[in-house]
């Protein structure tokens, strides 16, 4: 499998090169040269496969022979060492829980898979020392830190916006030490992401460090997110209704991976991109005009993205045809007040506790189902509610049980370096 730049169709690289480089020249994203179709027999017999076997069948064409079968299977076994249950909420609604991994967030899968792939390539011995440079609006940082912790030959530098991640999220990315360094940025997530992209095109930095990114712009972070939809479909295959998935969307890597799975043949009928007040895609689907704007802070902070990087990949999946895209994708956006109200209502009515991101996904799904009752809808719970403890407990009026892993992290000492601009990041990277 070759990967081409979305800015230059003639620029093509291997899977390894795409993973190691992160971005193509000119800050462009990589995209698979072809999208394989899986057999109908495979989908009809999903119940006979383990989740590791399903993931292997889904990802193997994208990796090719660059990681041998046994090596890829071992990476998947380690990455997927937890469950992905679909929990019924009401008669026509369920939630896919993606928070049962080591940092209690959906990004554990992408981070773990990328760490396994990059670690494999480093062990081949021709890459030298690699620095993973990543921006986080919340959960990416902790997942990447955990996934890459102690991986030989790899340093990790994480940028996060000061005061704009939850206390638990901050502890997860600032307390591990070893090969993990956290940089606390005086700004928002877009500032962090802009700094990362600028660093990749800075020749002075590339002379000192070999950089790659672990944001969902990296194909090894983005692609394995398709697994969630295969795992969910296995559990939902007996449903007679059409299937819709509502995805809380920030940088749009997760929903893009789901739409890729559909292109591969997975029988999903519709997607809903559920936004908070950072709603560039909601506005695009109404106006046909894509107009990014600075991000605003919300209680669903992992979605506080004003210019989602992966949306260009979604456009590519549909050959930039607005009508084709709009037939398969809806989008709605919700304020913090509506998000809080949804958390309270679902707890009172169904005794289920959602985190703010899952609540936005729930709201988008209910709005879609109100007009399309023939669907069975699944919204994604992308993080454990404990990661937003203060918000959730205030809304539901009761305590949320804190998992042991979180208690351990909260007792550790925060270690980070504060920076204010790109010059300070550059100084850190070239020192």
Query: In this structure, are strands 329-333 and 270-275 parallel, antiparallel, or unpaired?
Result: parallel
| Buried/exposed code over 12-21 (b: 16+ C-beta within 10 A; e: otherwise) | ebebbebbbb
φ/ψ of 164, rounded to 5, equals: -120, 15
SS3 (DSSP) at 36: coil
Token pair recorded at residue 264? 């591969």
Query: In this structure, are strands 86-90 and 30-32 parallel, antiparallel, or unpaired?
Result: unpaired
Radius of gyration (Cα) for the chain, nearest Å?
20
Which residue numbers are catalytic? Answer: 107
Token pair recorded at residue 190? 């877009």
H helices of 157-310, in order, are 167-174, 189-200, 203-208, 219-222, 227-236, 253-263, 280-287
What residues contact 425, with CB distance under 8 A and at least 6 apart? 159, 183, 195, 199, 419
| CA gap 261, 255 in Å, rounded | 10
| CA gap 143, 111 in Å, rounded | 6
| CA gap 289, 281 in Å, rounded | 9
φ/ψ of 50, rounded to 5, equals: -75, 165
Number of H helices and E strands in the chain, helices first, is 20, 14
| CA gap 110, 24 in Å, rounded | 19
| CA gap 304, 336 in Å, rounded | 12
**Read out DSSP for 116-159?**
HHHHHHHHTTSS--EEEEEE-SSHHHHHHHHHHTT-TTEEEEEE
Token pair recorded at residue 335? 């304020």
């Amino acid at each position: 499998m070759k990967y081409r730049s979305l800015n230059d169709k003639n620029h093509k690289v291997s899977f390894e090169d795409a993973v190691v480089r992160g971005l193509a020249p000119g800050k462009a994203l990589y995209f698979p040269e072809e999208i394989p179709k899986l057999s109908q027999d495979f989908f009809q017999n999903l119940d006979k496969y383990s989740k590791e076997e399903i993931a292997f069948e889904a990802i193997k064409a994208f990796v090719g022979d660059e990681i041998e079968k046994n090596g890829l299977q071992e990476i998947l076994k380690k990455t997927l060492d937890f469950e992905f249950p679909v929990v019924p909420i009401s008669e026509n609604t369920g939630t896919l829980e993606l928070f049962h991994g080591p940092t209690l967030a959906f990004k554990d899968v992408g981070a773990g898979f990328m760490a396994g792939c990059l670690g494999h390539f480093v062990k081949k011995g021709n890459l030298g020392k690699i620095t993973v440079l990543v921006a986080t609006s919340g959960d990416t940082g902790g997942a990447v830190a955990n996934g890459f912790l102690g991986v030989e030959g790899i340093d990790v530098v994480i940028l996060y916006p000061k005061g704009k991640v939850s206390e638990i999220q901050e502890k997860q990315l600032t307390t591990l030490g070893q090969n993990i360094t956290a940089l606390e940025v005086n700004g928002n997530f877009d500032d962090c992401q802009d700094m990362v992209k600028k660093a990749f095109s800075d020749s002075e930095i590339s002379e000192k460090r070999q950089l790659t990114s672990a944001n969902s712009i990296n194909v090894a972070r983005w692609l394995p997110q398709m697994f969630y939809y295969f795992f969910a479909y296995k559990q939902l295959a007996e449903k007679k209704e059409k299937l819709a998935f509502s995805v809380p969307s920030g940088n749009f890597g997760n929903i893009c991976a789901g739409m890729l799975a559909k292109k591969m043949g997975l029988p999903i009928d519709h997607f809903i991109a559920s936004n908070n007040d950072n709603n560039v895609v909601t506005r695009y689907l109404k106006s046909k005009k894509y107009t990014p704007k600075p991000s605003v802070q919300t209680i669903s902070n992992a979605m506080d993205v004003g210019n989602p990087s992966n949306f260009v990949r979604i456009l590519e999946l549909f050959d930039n045809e607005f009508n084709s895209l709009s037939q398969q994708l809806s989008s709605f956006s919700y304020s913090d007040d509506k998000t809080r109200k949804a958390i309270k209502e679902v707890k009172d009515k169904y005794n289920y506790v959602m985190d703010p991101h899952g609540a936005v996904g729930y709201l988008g799904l209910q709005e879609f189902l109100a007009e399309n009752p023939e669907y069975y809808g699944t919204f994604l719970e992308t993080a454990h509610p404990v990661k937003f403890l203060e918000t959730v407990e205030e809304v539901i009026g009761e305590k949320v049980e804190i998992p042991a892993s979180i208690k351990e992290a909260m007792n550790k000492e925060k270690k980070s370096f504060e920076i204010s601009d790109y010059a300070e990041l550059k100084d850190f990277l070239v020192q």
